[in-house]
Chain A
Amino acid sequence: MSTPSGNDHGTAAGATSTGGQTPTSEASGGMTSSAAAGSIRDRLRSPGAQSSGGDTRGSDLSGEHFQQSDSSQQLYDNGRDERQLSHSSPPQEAEIQEPRAEDVDPAAARAAERLVSALFLMSFLGVIGFLVTYVFAPFTYGLEKHNQLFNPLLAIFMAMALGGIGAGAVVWAKRLMPDEEAVQERHPFGSDPDERAATAEALKGGLDQTQLPRRSLLRNTLLLGAGSLALLPVPLLFGLGRFQHKERTLATTGWKQGVRLIRQNGTPVNRNDLEIGGIESVFPDVPRGTKLADSAALLIRMRPDELKVRAGRETWSVDGFVVYSAICTHLGCPVKLYEQQTHHLFCPCHQSTFEADNACKVIFGPAARALPQLAISVDPEGYFVAQGDFSEPVGPSYWERPS
């Protein structure tokens, strides 16, 4: 085979010439093997393959040969042999490759070498430029002044550094390294029949050694013991959390009677703080209160005559101030998008819309229940306090939800 670099693969010929002698036509080859064999057969039978081989090896390597081969050594040899013949798919002229300019002209090879070296040098300069920029370039970032060039310079130098190595390697491989195409065939995936028979034998022998076929008492007690394991998942149907649910953790929050409403920064909210149309995110004034995920609430002030007080909730609001859970009853997103003119509370996740002036009734979206309301009152110093926990469990529905 004429590879321009002069690499010689001819030594594999001896092994392959014996390959096709023992056809056993087993089905063990399977789909992949026969499919592969088909394509190989096509290639090997093309006129280019035979003529380039220069001897009878091409006809020896028929498709059957690959399907039935029974030794991996042989297969590997076939693979090497095939590698020699693999240029044959476009006939004749393609399979003898034109030598590159670099292969015949030392000047062209030197030019290619210089190009690759220049690319590697560019990579070096990129590294230096990156480091210099990173250490010495002024980095200011702000509203008034900003070094617009800092990040672009870093990007350009990094592109030089990485791209130089990459492009250099590609040019190097393409113009200087030996130009050849090589194909290595895979061997079939199945084990050979002898090995499989031996394995089956060993498994059968193992069953006999356990004596289970003979000793029925052993067998039946094993079935009973192992089979009863299947009963273990049954309690899962009734839930693993009976003890937890007695404490009603899902149904309660951090709010308790007399707990002050505080802001995120910990300051309590006075009744004089909000104007009409104002809102405030509030949390219970308990340890780690602002971190309690289920206790976040929204304090809203509207004109008292705008608030439609529901029967039974007359004492829950103070002079137009109402507090609702800020956790959507659909999937638990924070509901804090309040429109002060329409009194809509809007969940940004799935567009559930609640009427804050009407006990947070759902008027749009997938939420199934109104947002729970927190009953509030004012302590003698004028700060808001909770009358107790929320009217019902907050957040999305769950299995054991009381209502």
Chain B
Amino acid sequence: MSTHPGRLARLSPYVVVLLGLALVGGLYTAFLAPQSSAQEDPAAAQSMAVKAGRDLYLSGCSTCHGLDMQGGSGGPSLIGVGEAAVVFQVESGRMPLAAGTVQAPRKKVQYSLAQIDQLAAYVQAHGGGPQLPELAAGDSLTNGDLQEGGELFRTNCSSCHNFAGAGGSLTYGKYAPRLEPASARVVYAAMQSGPESMPRFSDGQLSVEDKKAITYYVRYITRAAQPGGSALGKFGPVPEGLVAWLVGIGVLVVATLWIGNRA
């Protein structure tokens, strides 16, 4: 590169200013803001997320839910539904809705996890509502007492979702969905927000610890390997007995006939 003295002289003030800024910034991060040096300012990150979420909302959701989340012809108002509702609906693929049916079906998820967080932050920032718990480092939504979770699940959840989380039917074509595909966040958010037909379980009813235990239990019964082989849809003794009688006894009868024929 050609080093023309005149050009260098013209550039030098900018270089000085840049160096000075870098020095001041470095000193600031080194001495004045040691806490936020580890990670970004959470408030700023939050407002960034809200901003990004607003863009996502306006492009993806506002057609039905209205420009100000006031609701419209296609969808209900989102004021007060909280981040839990957003996480449940979007992370399970139910929103954006493809067609008006009696109940929103689980579909392919349209947004990344980061985008879902941004949408949730935006909806939470405008009207509040049920939230997911703040998790400390190393904590998770499935960090709970499995046995306690089982008790609570059988008391509060199993009447609709079946003892093994296989789901069941409700009135007029509605249904309680199968819990197997749901992520831990979606399970927790469903209890927290009470989507569609599902009742809402406030923290006064089921504490954060209770809900973590239930979430863990749901993941356990739906995701843990089946020690007995095929679960046959987890519908309980009826299909199991059917298979035992039709398949098991049938095979035995055929084997007996075969042996009798060969004798």
Task: Say if the beta carbon of A274 comes within 8 Å of chain B.
Answer: yes
Contact with B along A143-154 (1 / 0, CB 8 A): 100101011000
* Contact, CB under 8 Å: A141 / B227: yes
Q: Which of B198, B219, B225 contacts A146 (CB 8 A)?
A: B225
* Contact, CB under 8 Å: B200 / A273: no
Chain B residues 231 to 256 lying within 8 A of chain A, measured CB to CB, are none
Given A174-B263, A337-B160 in contact, is the A279-B171 Cβ separation under 8 Å? no
Q: Can you name the residue of chain B whose Cβ is closest to the Cβ of A264?
A: B155
* Contact, CB under 8 Å: B199 / A278: yes
* Contact, CB under 8 Å: A341 / B196: yes
By secondary structure, the B interface counts as loop
Given A143-B220, A278-B205 in contact, is the A340-B200 Cβ separation under 8 Å? yes
* Contact, CB under 8 Å: B224 / A146: yes
Task: Say if the beta carbon of A364 comes within 8 Å of chain B.
Answer: yes
Task: Say if the beta carbon of B229 comes within 8 Å of chain A.
Answer: yes
* Contact, CB under 8 Å: B194 / A143: no
Bound-state Cα–Cα, A170 to B258, Å: 13
Given A277-B200, A278-B194, A279-B199 in contact, is the A346-B224 Cβ separation under 8 Å? no
Bound-state Cα–Cα, A346 to B174, Å: 11
Task: Say if the beta carbon of B159 comes within 8 Å of chain A.
Answer: yes
Given A272-B204, A273-B205 in contact, is the A342-B194 Cβ separation under 8 Å? no
Bound-state Cα–Cα, A351 to B175, Å: 13
* Contact, CB under 8 Å: A346 / B202: no
Contact with B along A256-293 (1 / 0, CB 8 A): 00000001110000101111111111000000000000
Bound-state Cα–Cα, A60 to B219, Å: 80
Q: Which of A265, A270, A272, A364 contacts B171 (CB 8 A)?
A: A364
Interchain nearest-CB distance for B224 vs A (Å): 5
* Contact, CB under 8 Å: B263 / A344: no
* Contact, CB under 8 Å: B225 / A344: no
Q: Can you name the residue of chain A whose Cβ is closest to the Cβ of B220?
A: A143
Residues of B within 8 Å of A337, CB to CB, are: 159-160, 168, 170, 176
Interchain nearest-CB distance for A86 vs B (Å): 15
Q: Can you name the residue of chain B whose Cβ is closest to the Cβ of A273?
A: B204
Residues of B within 8 Å of A142, CB to CB, are: 220, 224
Chain B residues 102 to 130 lying within 8 A of chain A, measured CB to CB, are 130
Task: Say if the beta carbon of B11 comes within 8 Å of chain A.
Answer: no
Contact with B along A315-336 (1 / 0, CB 8 A): 0000000000000000000101
Residues of B within 8 Å of A334, CB to CB, are: 159
Residues of A within 8 Å of B198, CB to CB, are: 340
Chain B residues 164 to 198 lying within 8 A of chain A, measured CB to CB, are 168, 170-172, 174, 176, 194, 196-198
Bound-state Cα–Cα, A348 to B175, Å: 12
Task: Say if the beta carbon of A98 comes within 8 Å of chain B.
Answer: no
Residues of B within 8 Å of A174, CB to CB, are: 263
Residues of B within 8 Å of A281, CB to CB, are: 155-156
Residues of B within 8 Å of A141, CB to CB, are: 224-225, 227
Bound-state Cα–Cα, A185 to B150, Å: 62
What class of interface size applies to chain B in its complex with A? 20 to 34
Task: Say if the beta carbon of A84 comes within 8 Å of chain B.
Answer: no
* Contact, CB under 8 Å: B171 / A344: yes
Q: Can you name the residue of chain A whose Cβ is closest to the Cβ of B176?
A: A337
Residues of A within 8 Å of B202, CB to CB, are: 273-275, 278
Given A281-B156, A364-B171 in contact, is the A276-B200 Cβ separation under 8 Å? yes
Bound-state Cα–Cα, A148 to B224, Å: 11
Bound-state Cα–Cα, A141 to B176, Å: 28
Bound-state Cα–Cα, A340 to B259, Å: 60
Given A170-B259, A277-B194, A340-B199 in contact, is the A346-B170 Cβ separation under 8 Å? yes
Chain A residues 340 to 369 lying within 8 A of chain B, measured CB to CB, are 340-342, 344, 346, 348, 351, 353, 364
Q: Can you name the residue of chain A whose Cβ is closest to the Cβ of B221?
A: A143
* Contact, CB under 8 Å: B197 / A341: yes
Q: Which of B220, B225, B259 contacts A148 (CB 8 A)?
A: B225
Bound-state Cα–Cα, A279 to B199, Å: 6
Residues of A within 8 Å of B219, CB to CB, are: 143
Residues of B within 8 Å of A272, CB to CB, are: 204
Residues of B within 8 Å of A273, CB to CB, are: 202, 204-205
Bound-state Cα–Cα, A274 to B194, Å: 12
Q: Can you name the residue of chain A whose Cβ is closest to the Cβ of B192?
A: A275
Q: Can you name the residue of chain B whose Cβ is closest to the Cβ of A140?
A: B225
* Contact, CB under 8 Å: A151 / B228: yes
Residues of B within 8 Å of A146, CB to CB, are: 224-225, 227
Given A170-B259, A264-B155, A270-B204 in contact, is the A150-B197 Cβ separation under 8 Å? no
* Contact, CB under 8 Å: B199 / A277: yes
Interchain nearest-CB distance for B206 vs A (Å): 10
* Contact, CB under 8 Å: B205 / A274: yes
Bound-state Cα–Cα, A16 to B255, Å: 40
Residues of A within 8 Å of B223, CB to CB, are: 143
Residues of B within 8 Å of A130, CB to CB, are: none
* Contact, CB under 8 Å: B229 / A151: yes
> Which of B156, B199, B216, B228 has the most chain A CB atoms inside 10 A of its CB?
B199
Bound-state Cα–Cα, A146 to B228, Å: 12
Interface residues of A (CB under 8 A from B): 141-143, 146, 148, 150-151, 170, 174, 263-265, 270, 272-281, 334, 336-342, 344, 346, 348, 351, 353, 364
List 15 interface pairs A-B (beta carbons < 8 Å), by A numbering.
Answer: A142-B220, A142-B224, A143-B216, A150-B227, A170-B259, A265-B151, A274-B205, A275-B200, A275-B204, A337-B160, A337-B168, A339-B170, A346-B170, A351-B171, A353-B171
Interface residues of B (CB under 8 A from A): 130, 142, 151, 155-156, 159-160, 168, 170-172, 174, 176, 194, 196-202, 204-205, 216, 219-220, 223-225, 227-229, 259, 263
Other than A174-B263, A278-B200, give 8 A-B pairs with Cβ distance below 8 A: A141-B224, A265-B151, A337-B176, A339-B174, A340-B197, A344-B170, A346-B170, A353-B171
